[in-house]
């Protein structure tokens, strides 16, 4: 999923927010965006993305290869400049569903986190 931000002021506001939220452990990159899995022609060129660094010197919170339960445990304990990571995960899960872009890994991870939190229950 990609978002186009129109208007210079809106771009500045969005980029300012993203720089705070993402810059702590991520690297900004520009990539081509494809809407079809087997397409060889990019739908949009130069889409800005943030990529988490696996380098522990840059990103001490990078878990590396891990089970769903290990990831869920880390998410429950983690908090960044924008708040608890579990809130971000739950909001991502909901936003993807609202856009018709359900991601089985995000759904499974959100449900694993919910199972470990006493006040929440897994959703479908």
The Cα–Cα gap between 2 and 33 comes to 8
From 9, 19, 22, 119, the catalytic residue: 22
Instruction: Judge whether 45 and 31 are in contact, CB under 8 Å.
Output: no
pLDDT band for position 20 (50/70/90)? Answer: confident
User: What is the tens place of the pLDDT at every residue in 26-82?
Assistant: 788 999 999 888 999 999 999 999 888 888 888 888 898 999 999 999 999 998 878
* pLDDT for 118: 82
The Cα–Cα gap between 22 and 52 comes to 9
Stated pTM of the model: 0.76
Note if 69 is an active site residue.
no
- In the three-class reduction of DSSP (H, G, I as helix; E, B as strand; rest coil), residue 63 is classed as coil
């Amino acid at each position: 999923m990609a978002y186009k931000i129109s208007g210079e002021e809106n771009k500045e506001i969005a980029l300012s927010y993203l720089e705070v939220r993402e810059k702590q452990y991520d690297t900004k990159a520009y990539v081509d965006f494809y809407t079809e899995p087997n397409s060889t022609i990019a739908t949009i060129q130069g889409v800005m993305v943030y990529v988490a660094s696996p380098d522990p010197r840059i990103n001490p919170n990078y878990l590396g290869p891990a089970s769903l339960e290990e990831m869920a445990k880390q998410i429950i304990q983690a908090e960044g400049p924008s708040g608890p990571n579990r809130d971000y995960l739950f909001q991502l899960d909901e936003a993807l569903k609202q856009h018709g872009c359900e991601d089985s890994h995000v759904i499974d991870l959100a449900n694993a986190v919910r199972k470990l939190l006493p006040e929440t229950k897994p959703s479908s």
